[in-house]
Structure formats: structure tokens, C-alpha cells
Amino acid sequence: MTLPDAQPRQEGQAPAQPPQTAARAQPLSALSKQVLVVWLLASAALPLAILLPEPQLPASRLAGALLGAAACAAVGVAYARRLRPAWHLMQACMLAAIFLGAYWGNRWLFVGQSLLMIYLYFSLYTPEVRREFDIHAAPREVGVLLVLLGMCALLAIMRPRFLEGGNLLDLARQFSMVGIMAVGMTMVIILGGIDLSVGSVVALAGCLATLAMRHWDCSILSAVAIALATGALVGLFNGTLISRFRMAPFVITLGTMSMARSLAIVVTGAEQVTVKGCAAQPGLHAIAWEDTLGVPNAVWLMALCVLLGHVFLGYTRTGRHVYYVGANEEAARLSGLNVTALKWGVYTVCGVLAGLAGIVQASRVATGQPSAGMGDELRVIAAVIIGGASFTGGVGTVLGSLLGAAIMGVLRQGLILLGVEANWQQFVEGGVIIGAVALDMLRRRR
């Protein structure tokens, strides 16, 4: 899931050569001219798509017109040979158009812009064009984003329902659980480990929280705290064994996966925990089923986790230390990093996030179920690997994992929309996991 010549981790690099001065004299290459043609098409597609007969508000026409104008401006800027700013302006326009297309349910806009963008990156984003435009290699996540856009565009063409009636928000609600867990899993996998226990923690945390609501009639905040604490305890247990006693993460978390699942069944007596009539019931309901500013609360929760995770891994010292340990544990130790504490912390955070996902899950089904989250560990790991992380450690980003979670979500809903029998879903998901790992291998071999 990577671009032909994507070099990761290039962001923020100072431009290598002084722009335009030399380039201005030379004519553009054929490929760069193609890029400009795609731009022209993209900006022409904007007003056209907005005028097509699909339900819209007057305000949307105004937004569309502005966007079209901005795209035309980008072409103008490019004509004046200021290629770098033009490139960035155009990317922003196309992304905004794709987003608005999804938001308005305008599939012409959505599909058209997505396809143009995919074409732009996959066919034209060559070293030659990059040099002439004076732009850097795209971060690895762009490849994942394009795959996601391609899948969405395909579905939007085949099943118009895909974009309609807030379906996308519903989709986001569905994968928010996986998305939340993927943040913690990203850190674990960057660290070179794995956590198989998250699915069982979802069940255990959800069951303990709902039990507390029913038997002690506690508030929703206490219930959330109980769920998070449950996750933290399992994570601490994992982290302690893995970091202090240097046991293999795969074995330890396989063990806790089994233990946590069993505990969930024991505490509930293998029955659903209903929370009907409890004081906290409306609060629980609100997490997954109510919106704030038009977006489901669960999606806000996921966005918050992703944002915090992204900032942590990308911009803080401790986050960077996670990459160091994953890339080479021995070198990290010799560089004075506290490897034990880092592992401990990362597994704990992963557990806490699984606990949070447990509450979201309990809210979605309005009960505590000992069988909840079964198989989620695989879905989460798949999301992280699709998002560009590698089992060898040291590589991966939270944004990539979010996109990976979205791909898993779209895949799931897409299969339903396309009428694939439900029993085949896990088969396809398994195939995608294998495909993602195979891609990871190919990526490393290059």
C-alpha cells in the first residue's frame, strides 16, 4: 500500500535546491504537463458535479463555486510557474472536494475527484515530476488514503446508497471501536510487540462496567472509569511480564486473551448484562448513539484518541523513544533509554484504550456481553499493518492505522452492501490481513 517511490519520514525537510530559477527556462516534461491536465479536469469537474441534479442546499453551491474558483486559481498559479504552491493548493482543493462530496452525498463529485487524485499519485507522482514541481516524496499514509478512496469510489458507483443519508458517519461509528484500539496497537507494534488480548479486554471491561451500573447503580463516569481501569490492569499485567521478565509478547498476550475472556464469562455467569432502568443507562446510550455537532460521540472519542496518539508519537520525546526501542532495542538501551518503563507504559496504554473500546461496544449493543470483541484483535492488528506499520518494529503511524481501520470498516460494509453472504466476511477479512502482511514484506524487500 505504498506509492511507487514513496520514501517515508520525509516531512518537514528543507527544500534541497533553489526552486524555479533554473527550471523556469526549461520546458516542462510530458508527465508534468499531464499533471496540469489532470488539474484542469479536476477544477472543471468541481462546478460541473455541483450543478448535476442531486439534492443540495444553496449554501453548498456557494461552497462549490468557491472551491472551483480556488482550483482554477491553482491552475493559474501553476501557469505562472509557481509549481510548488500550486501543487499544495490543488491537493487541498481536491481533498476538500472529496470530503464535501462525501458530506453532501454527491457521488459525481466524490468519485470524480477521488479517481483524479488516485491517477495523479499513482501514475504521475514520479521522481521527475517531483523534481520539476519541487515537491517531496509523499508520506506513506498517502498510499493508504488512496486505496481507501478507491474502495469508496468503487462502492459509490456500484451502490449509490453508500454515500447517502449519513451512511458514512454510520460507517465511522462502526469502526470507531477498532480505530480507538488501533491507536494503542500502533504503539505496541512500533515497539516490536503485539497485543492479542485487546478483544477479550473489550468484553471484560464492558461486562464489568455494565455490572457495576446494574448492581451499584453507579454513574456513567464511574462505569467508564471501571472499564478503563480494567484495561489498565490487563495492560499492566502484560507490560510487566513482557518488560521485566522479557517474555515473548505473543505468548503472554495470547495467555491474557484467554484469561480475560474467561473472566468476562465468569463474572457475568455467561449471560448478557442488561442495564435497562439503571441511572447510567442514558449516559451509556449517548456514547454510541447520540451526536455532538452532527457527528456521533463515538467518532469524537476516536478522533480524540487518534489526535493524542498522533501528537504523542510524532512530536514528543517519549513517542520518539518508542520508535527507537522498536527499531533496535539494544541500541536504545545503550543510548540510555529506559526500555522497561517504555514497554510497560505502552502495553498499559494499549490496555486502557481497549477498555475504552469496551465501553463503546457496550453502548452500541446496550448490554455487557461476555462474547463481545471476539476476533477484534485480528481486525485491529490488520488495520495497523494495512496502515503501514511493520511487525519488525520501528515503523508505523497513528494516522496510517486510522486509515487502515477505515479500510477494514469500508470493506465490511461494502461486502454487506454488495450482498455478499455474511459468512464470507471473515474469509475476506482474513485474506486482507494476509495481503497486508505480504505487502509489508514486499515493501521491506525493495
Partner 1 sequence: MRGMHKAFPGVKALDDVSLEVWPGEVVALVGENGAGKSTLIKILSGCHRADAGEIILDGRRLERFSPQQAQAMGISVIYQEFNLAPPLSVAENVFVGRQPRTPAGTIAFGRMRAATQAILDELRLPLDARRLVQTLSVAEQQMVEIAKAISFRARIIVMDEPTAALTERETATLFELVRRLKRQGVAVIYISHRLQEVFAVADRVVVLRDGRNAGSLPIAAATVEKVVRLMVGRELKEMYRKPAVPAGEPVLEVRGLSRAASRVRDVSLSVRAGEIVGLAGLVGAGRTEIARALFGVDRADAGTVRVAGREVTIRSPRDAIRAGLGFVPENRKEQGLFLMMAVRENVTAAGLDALSRWDFVRFAAERRLVGALIDQLRIRTPSQEQEVQYLSGGNQQKVVLARWLALRPRVLVLDEPTRGIDVGAKAEIYALMGELVRQGVGILMISSELPEILGMSDRVLVVRAGALAGELAREQASQEAIIRLATGGQ
Cell (9 digits) for 9: 519520514
Q: Which is nearer to partner 1, 377 or 440 (CB)?
A: 440
For residue 250, the minimal CB distance to partner 1 (Å) is 22
- Paired with 273 in beta bridges are 368
Coil, strand, or helix at residue 67?
helix
CB of 75 closer than 8 Å to CB of 86:
yes
Q: Cell for 354? A: 481497549
CA dist., res. 345 & res. 316, Å (int): 15
Contact 370, 265 (CB under 8 A): yes
Residue closer to partner 1 (CB basis): 213 or 332: 332
Q: Are 54 and 72 in contact, with CB atoms under 8 Å apart?
A: no
Q: Which residue has the cell 451500573?
A: 213
- What are the residues whose beta carbons fall under 8 Å from the beta carbon of 70, sequence distance 6 or more? 89, 92, 93
Q: How far is the CB of 390 from partner 1 (least distance, A)?
A: 9
Q: And the C-alpha cell for 229?
A: 481501569
The least distance separating partner 1 from the CB of residue 79, rounded to whole angstroms, comes to 31
How far, in Å, CA of 439 to CA of 56, rounded?
41
- CA pair distance 308, 183, nearest whole angstrom: 9
State the nearest-atom distance from the C-beta of 436 to partner 1, in Å.
19
Q: How far is the CB of 399 from partner 1 (least distance, A)?
A: 18
Q: Smaller CB distance to partner 1: residue 330 or 421?
A: 330
Pairing of strands 273-274, 367-368: antiparallel
Nearer to partner 1, 33 or 320 (CB): 320
CB of 321 to partner 1, least distance (A): 7
Q: Rounded to the nearest whole angstrom, what is the least distance from the CB of residue 337 to partner 1 in the complex?
A: 7
Give the integer Cα–Cα distance in Å for 148 and 67: 23
Residue with Cβ nearer partner 1 (219 or 318): 318
Grid coordinates of 351: 490496555
Choice between 101 and 393, CB closer to partner 1:
393
Tell me which residue of 382, 442, 439 sits closest to 412, measured CA to CA.
382
- Could you tell me which residues come within 8 angstroms of residue 266 by beta carbon, excluding any fewer than 6 positions away? none
List interacting residues with partner 1 (CB under 8 A).
Answer: 7, 9-10, 12-14, 16, 315-318, 320-321, 323-324, 327-328, 330-338, 394-395
Distance CA 104, CA 155 (A): 16
Q: Which is nearer to partner 1, 67 or 322 (CB)?
A: 322
Amino acid identity at 215: H
DSSP category for residue 13:
P
The minimum distance between CB 89 and partner 1, in angstroms, equals: 24
Furthest CA-CA distance within the chain? 78
Minimum CB distance to partner 1, residue 324 (Å): 5
Name residue 367's beta-bridge partners. 274
Question: Which C-beta is closer to partner 1: that of 68 or that of 192?
Answer: 192
CA distance 29 to 420: 46
The distance of closest approach from Cβ of residue 343 to partner 1 in the complex, given in angstroms and rounded to an integer, is: 15
Question: With respect to partner 1, which residue has the nearer C-beta, 276 or 317?
Answer: 317
Q: Which is nearer to partner 1, 231 or 345 (CB)?
A: 345
